[in-house]
Structure 1
Amino acid sequence: MNKTSLIIIIALVSLACKNSPKEEVSNGDRKIVSKAEFPSDVIPFMDKWKILMGDGTRSDSLINLKKEGFFFVENDSEENWVVYKTPNSGVTSRTSSNTRTELGEKRDWVPEEGGRLTGTLKVMHVSTTGDATAASSYSVVIGQIHSGEGHENEPLKIYYKKFPGHTKGSVFWNYEINTKGDNIGRFDYSTAVWGHDFSVVGSSATDYPPEPEDGIALGEEFSYEVNVYKGIMYLTFTSEDHKTVQFTKSLIKSDFATREDIPEQVKKVYANREKGGGVEREIAYAGELNYFKQGAYNQANAKSTKSEVYGGDIAKQYANGSYAEVWFKTATLGPSVNPDNN
């Protein structure tokens, strides 16, 4: 073997080692995992997604993609985590005032076909500024089902929310109606998982509700499963120190098809707004294209929550707590499964 060939082989081995996470045994039986370089090294389903980041960066090729400050890998010595980070104010999509560093599924599906998304994560930060009377303040959406047709509403948004000064935050999920007729009357109905639901807000801009006793702290690990099977959405939430919680919701038959069906929660949350008085089409999202989303969809925009954005300067927002940051350890995306076989 000549000298040139040997140099090439050494370089290739070095590159492979750099891009492949390793496990080393240290301190007895404790496993120390070296840091991966790319999010696709940690969660290998990245070929199924595209991404929009909080500075407006878009890509539909996520293998060996990273961007410091938005989409990257962190390591806590024991495990690698994919980090999704986004400021309160940046560049966002045409249909939203909220910034995101969030995956969007490339494949569309109708509820009758369905699909399955899982994630194990911990929320590391939510905005520390906002108006406590605004339901979206201090919150981030960590998983979604989004419609790609019609009104482009969201049959599922999974939230984490923590008020300033509280140790524990809340996990809840919202269902947005597929409004019958125009979309002016659209509304979300919220269901608590651990802690409060979306409707629990402060009595004034700076007065917060009681801290949830059964909430989730920043940095506390939990998991969710979203399984849409034959038009029915099955949700499962698990956490080591909390009771496992499950929900079932039809995406093909509405619970909100008449004005008499509108819950008191909705009437309360939307009392002073134009939207919120509508009804849903009887077949809900049946036959309509949908897709999954996962990451950090920051809800703390300056318009509705009066969150501080420092003139849109991202560096200042990161330095002063005006951002959302979510870490995912594992996640899967695939076809739906029969819940009776689980």
Structure 2
Amino acid sequence: MLLRSNFILISLLVLLQGCGSSSSSDTAIDEPIQEQPTTPDTPDEVVIETISCSTLNKLDFTQASVQSQMQGFEASQSIDGSFIASSRWSTSNNQHDLILTLDEVSLVKGLAITWLNNDERTYSFDIETSQDKEEWLPVLTSAISNASTTRGEYVELTESSARYVKIVANGSDKNDGNHIVEVEAFGCRENKTSSIELNDWYLSIPVDESTNSKAKSIYESTLNDNYFNAEFFFLDKEGGMVFRAPIEGAKTSTNTKYTRTELREMLRRGNTNISTQGVNKNNWVFSSAPASDQSAAGGVDGTLTAELAVNYVTETGDSAQVGRVIIGQIHANDDEPIRVYYRKLPNNEKGAIYLAHEIKDGDDTYYELIGTRSKSAENPANGIKLNERFGYQISVSGNILTFTLTRDGQADLIQEIDMNSSSYDLGGQYMYFKAGVYNQNNSGDPKDYVQATFYKIENSHINYDG
């Protein structure tokens, strides 16, 4: 009888305890829910890695989290690829941490930080790194941003193997607010270099550090000495060569309206005794040119082969210009036998490919290979998406130019251009290839930009045999 009584008593206690508890579904709907930071789960066990590599490549952030942010200026906007001021992280308080997550543990060597700076303010900040978000290593302390720039600032860090990067934002000299437009990290996971040889090229970027009036030229010897620019020209983590050109910036001459980050062919291969211009050993001519020009030139006829992906195009500005970028061309003395365009409109998922052939001292003739060049074009059914890899080849034999577009799993698209009436076979006309990004929009937000990653750039010519 005593055992039975105890059993009944225990059962009653369990029942009463169950009645006193409430499930999550019983929570009052008017009770505010505290918004939690978007932080990834910390792994139960973190294996500390030590990485050793020497290359400098852009690393990929996958997530951003903070303790404080202003509505409409969330942390995720600091790694969204946009440099427009409205796409930023902002907080009204200082001493807040912006924690950025890399896609994998990497050797972190530097950060490019674009601060919101339209009133010449300076920001104070520190940077720390971690593999587990528990133990943090200071890699830059008491740093101050540049008050005179609105561009990205590259800061070198004490090298560390890390999965997480923390920017400790300490406000500005104006107030306690922090405003970061974009953050990009550079380092490596393993040694990844580009397979593109740059002995035959120089690079133009849309900035002149001294006057900001004319684009800067990085000539062959400097370019081949592992040249790096965190804003305009760098390698991605797979070794792809990245070219970026914002709407604002210095131009290559007074005759152009647009910015570019672009390679210019230099057959002199660093021999500065040879002029960059003219019918000489730095440039090439068509085999239809006079024999004396063929003998004097650095090559005859030519082929340029490229593989690339367009990563970003402008989304703001005049509808006639938005989304346009030139990704390759042949340039003559003053005109262009061919310009290769990629264009994706903001409301389209895919982009078009078209060509322009400029008759010497004359008008352009356009050839549409995929979609159209119209500012109101519909989404091209066979178009090329951003970040989709494709290839092109420009080949010249005499007065016949052949352009070939290549894509995996699809038939080549070929366009032949007859140049017999274009006057490039006249004496004194010299040629050079160009590859990179030549932004064709000067009407949008100054921070809007174009970007492409090249995986292959090969140029070749034949020698004059008399």
Sort the TM-score into its range (normalised by shorter chain).
0.5 to 0.7
Percent of pairs with identical residues: 29
- Asked if structure 1 preserves the Cα contact closer than 8 Å seen for 2:201 and 2:265, the reply is yes
Deviations, residues 72-100 of structure 1 (Å, cap 9, x unaligned): 0002xxx3210000101200111211100
> Which residue is 1:73 aligned to?
235
The one-letter amino acid of 1:68's match is A
The gaps in structure 2 that reach 5 residues or longer are 1-50, 58-187, 208-214, 267-281, 288-299
Q: Secondary structure at the match of 2:199?
A: helix
Structure 2 residue 168 is matched with structure 1 residue 42: no
TM-score (norm. length: structure 1):
0.66
SS of residue in 2 equivalent to 1:324: strand
The one-letter code sitting in structure 2 at the alignment partner of 1:46 is L
The answer to whether structure 1 residue 189 and structure 2 residue 365 are counterparts is yes
Larger strand fraction of residues? 2
2:369 pairs with 1:333: no
1:67 aligned counterpart, secondary structure: coil
After TM superposition, which residue ranges in structure 1, 4 or more long, deviate above 6 angstroms? none
CA 246–336 in structure 1, closer or farther in 2 if over 3 Å, else same = farther
Check whether the contact 2:340–2:356 (CA below 8 A) recurs between aligned residues. Answer: yes
Distance 2:327 2:264 in 1: 12
Give the match's secondary structure for 1:90. coil
CA contact (8 A) 2:206 2:252 kept: no
**Residues 151-170 of structure 1, C-alpha deviation per residue, up to 9 Å, x if partnerless?**
x0111100100000210010
Cα distance in 1 for residues equivalent to 2:191 and 2:345: 32
Partner letter of residue 74 of structure 1? D
Q: Choose which of 54, 57, 65 in structure 1 pairs with 2:206.
A: 54
SS at match of 2:240: strand
Whether contact under 8 Å (1:229, 1:336) holds in the other structure is no
Contact 1:146-1:293 at 8 Å conserved across structures: yes
Instruction: Please state how far the C-alpha of 1:35 moved relative to its aligned partner.
Output: 4.8
Q: 1:49 and 1:284 mapped to 2: Cα distance?
A: 23
CA distance in 2, matches of 1:157, 1:85: 18
CA distance in 2, matches of 1:176, 1:137: 22
How big is the shift at 1:115? Answer: 1.1
Deviation at 1:45, TM superposition (A): 2.0
For the 8 Å contact 1:88–1:323, the answer to whether it is kept is: yes
Larger helix share, 1 or 2: 1
Partner of residue 324, structure 1: 450
Aligned amino acid, residue 367 of structure 2: T
Q: Is the 8 A contact 2:316 2:445 kept in 1?
A: yes
Which of 286, 309, 315 is 1:128 aligned to? 315
Give the counterpart letter for 2:236 in structure 1.
E
Unaligned runs of 5+ in 1: 1-13, 22-31, 180-185, 203-208, 255-279, 310-316, 338-342
Deviations 1:142-185 (A, max 9, x none): 0010012xxx0111100100000210010111111112xxxxxx
How many residue pairs get aligned? The number is 244
Contact 2:400/2:418 (8 A) holds in 1: yes
Q: Does 1:297 align with 2:438?
A: yes
Counterpart residue number, 2:347:
165
SS of aligned partner of 1:47: coil
* TM-score of the aligned structures, taking structure 2 as reference length: 0.49
- Give 1:299 shift: 0.4
- Corresponding residue SS for 1:243: coil
1:237 matched residue in structure 2: 405
| Residue 230 of structure 1: how far off its partner (Å) | 2.7
- Cα deviation for residue 33 of structure 1 reads 8.2
On the 8 A contact 1:110/1:286 being kept in 2, the answer is no
Are the counterparts in 2 of residues 118 and 333 from structure 1 also a CA contact under 8 Å? Answer: yes
Aligned to 1:211, which of 379, 393, 400? 379
2-structure distance, mates of 1:20, 1:212? 37
How far 1:211 sits from its partner (Å)?
Answer: 1.2
- Structure-1 separation of matches of 2:195 and 2:360: 32
Alpha-carbon shift at residue 242 of structure 1 (Å): 3.5
Corresponding position: 1:97 with 2:257: yes
Partners of 1:130 and 1:300 within 8 A in 2: yes
Larger radius of gyration: 2
Q: Say if 1:34 and 1:285 are closer, same or farther in 2 by CA, change over 3 A.
A: farther
| Post-superposition offset of 1:297 | 0.5
Provide the rounded CA distance (Å) in 2 between the counterparts of 1:224 and 1:33.
30
Q: Please give the alpha-carbon distance, in whole angstroms, between the structure 2 residues aligned to 1:241 and 1:190.
A: 26
Q: Which has the larger displacement, 223-232 or 240-249?
A: 240-249
Cα deviation, 1:30-54, whole Å, max 9, x if unaligned, reads xx98353xxxx41342011111112
Map of 2:286 onto structure 1? 111
Shift of 1:57: 2.5
SS in 1 for 2:360: coil
Q: Could you tell me which amino acid in structure 2 is paired with residue 290 of structure 1?
A: M
Q: Is the 8 A contact 1:102 1:296 kept in 2?
A: yes
Taking the aligned partners of 1:242 and 1:232, their CA distance within structure 2 comes to 25
